[in-house]
Amino acid sequence: MQPDKSYPSPDGRYRLDIYAHEVRMSHWIDCPYLYDNNTRDFLFSAGKLWNATKVDWSNDSNMLKLELRHYGCNSSIEVVFGLGQG
């Protein structure tokens, strides 16, 4: 299955794929999945009720900021991944 959107890190090592998931008729959520392209490891998923509303990679690919909104809530959270230590 191909992602609906893909956000590779600037150096290409990591990739954030977005899969659109329908939760109700005409209610779609962009579910994020983070992968390491070098090892092919799956690193993170927020689950099918979290919508990725903003994706921001650092220039050196060591940090990923995600803004996530839970389905049914009006507020969002920011999740920051430090990826450069592995």
pLDDT digits (tens, 9 = 90+) for 3-35: 999 999 999 999 999 999 998 888 899 999 999
How would you list the strands of the sheet with 14-24, edge to edge?
5-8, 14-24, 27-36, 41-45
Q: Determine the longest span between alpha carbons in the chain, in angstroms.
A: 42
Asked if 26 and 20 count as a contact pair (C-beta separation under 8 A), the reply is no
pLDDT tens profile 33-69? 999 999 999 999 998 899 999 999 999 999 999 999 9
Residues 6+ apart with CB under 8 A from 75: 69
Number of domains in the chain: 1
Which amino acid is located at 79 in the chain?
Answer: V
How far is the C-alpha of 9 from the C-alpha of 85, rounded, in Å? 15
Determine which of 38-42, 53-57, 71-75, 77-81 has the lowest per-residue pLDDT on average. 71-75
The whole domain housing 65 covers 5-82
